[in-house]
């Protein structure tokens, strides 16, 4: 009788564990944390986290915090139109505003899991182009 109870308990637990939700998370916007894999001629390849949030005063604009891995308190503003996220030009970032984002844009995937960016940075000496892929 004990074996039958143990078997029934094991069977019930197996079914409950097997019924867990293994579906990948579904995203409906670009808001959230992203892993940025970036390549540029100055720092080479690096990976860091960027947070994207909607600007409260304009729902078509977004705040990208820790852009270019400068600082979590630093950000740039970008505008979303269809599937293109365009960084507003001539924004300064850095602890002493030493970097200028001259231009840039990224294509947002339809499932909101990937943004492929290209942007131009001026570091006080020269312009250089950066390629970055945001993923989650």
The domains located in the chain, with CATH, are 27-135 (2.40.128.120)
Summarised one tens digit per residue, pLDDT across range 55-89 is 999 989 999 999 999 988 889 999 999 999 999 99
Task: Decide: pTM greater than 0.75.
Answer: yes
In DSSP notation, 21-70 reads --PPPP--SS-EEEEEEEEETTTEEEEEEEEEEE-TT-TTEEEEETGGGS
Specify the DSSP class assigned to residue 79.
E
């Amino acid at each position: 009788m004990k074996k039958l109870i143990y078997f029934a308990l094991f069977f019930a637990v197996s079914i409950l564990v097997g019924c867990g939700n293994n579906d990948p998370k579904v995203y409906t916007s670009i808001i959230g944390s992203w892993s940025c894999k970036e390549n540029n001629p100055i720092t080479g390849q690096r990976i860091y986290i960027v947070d994207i949030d909607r600007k409260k005063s304009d729902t078509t604009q977004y705040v990208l915090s820790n852009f270019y891995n400068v600082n979590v308190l630093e950000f740039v503003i970008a505008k979303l139109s269809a599937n293109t996220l365009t960084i507003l030009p001539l924004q300064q970032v850095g602890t002493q505003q030493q970097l200028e984002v001259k231009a840039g844009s990224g294509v947002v995937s339809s499932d909101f899991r990937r943004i492929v960016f290209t942007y131009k940075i001026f570091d006080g000496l020269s312009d250089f182009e950066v390629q970055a892929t945001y993923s989650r």
